Amino acid sequence: MTGSQPVEPSVLRWEMLTKRRFDEIDRENAIVLVTCSPLEVHGPHLPFGADALQGQALARRMLAHLPDAHRDRVFLELPYIFVAADPLPHPGSIFFPPPTTVKVLTDLGRSLAAQGFKNILVSNFHGSPRHFLAIEKACDKVSRERNVRMVCIFSVLLTRLTGGGSELYDALGDIPGVDKDCLVGDTHGGLVETSQLLALHPEWVERDYGALPRRTVDIWLDEQGRPKPETERGKPAGIRAMLHAFHAGLSFFRAETYAGAPGAASAELGEQILETLSRHGGEAVAEILDGKLPRDQWHSPLWSKRFLFTNPLMVKFFNRVLHIPDGIA
């Protein structure tokens, strides 16, 4: 232990392994870490890989919160995968449709299972339902086909911490130094993500982040004189309200590049946020490894609606309804 912080178990980077070292690994007991998040614009101040960097940090840091019975396992980290749906519609973002994410992760999971791996944890820090449901669909398919545990940890945390929403208002609002009002509408490149990047990679954050004003979808809709989506915090919206919210969000993000209050961010808050999320993540992973969390609870609250978000025909339909281009202009 270092101070009051638990020590992370060592993680082997897949791309740096040799054949000799790989052959020494007990694959059945090893845990493979995968991060699947987009490369996308995160305001004028954060790196394009912000979601992947946060997803990787969550995956690594949650290992420190595993009980001793699991800490001596071998942990293998694959290079992150940036195949993801619904990045911000700005140059610099890389777009893939949800079925592509399903296909890539399904093939990856099958390849790992064929080599004898039984535990695959997929991390993510991108809140688009079409993305995390695509991850869930691939994980569920591989888990059932190959009798392994392939789990989208982000989706499990959504269920536990937000009830299906994209804001971390309730989960992080009690952290000392956090202004709860700044967390309202903080969904992309705002207080939460800027703080985490300041803690993880301050050298990649533009120094003028503190001068950025608070911007949210609701503030922008008020300025435009447009009605707000009828959604309730902490509860998944109905299809009509969800479509309204998606359309409002798309309109906002075509004009803006972040939502939240990056000016209120700090590295100290970032460390506390990372610690809070990783602690919850470690608790969930321990329950999964111990067989205490059944497979039907490895999902987000939107799992029952996965067909609407990941089926290729429905993806094309909603792209047309919401005027989402095939790529980023």
CATH of the structural domain 11-321, one choice from 3.40.50.10470, 3.90.1150.10, 3.40.50.1820, 3.40.50.10310: 3.40.50.10310
Q: Per-domain residue ranges for the chain?
A: 11-321
pLDDT of residue 2: 42
Q: For residue range 261-280, what is the model confidence (pLDDT) as tens digits?
A: 999 999 999 999 999 999 99
Whether the Cβ atoms of residue 146 and residue 110 lie closer than 8 Å to each other: yes
Q: pLDDT category, 239, cuts 50, 70, 90?
A: low
Q: For residue range 157-201, what is the model confidence (pLDDT) as tens digits?
A: 999 988 766 567 777 878 888 888 889 999 999 999 999 999 999
- Cα 76 from Cα 169, distance rounded (Å): 32
pTM: 0.92
- Which token pair is 148? 């392994």
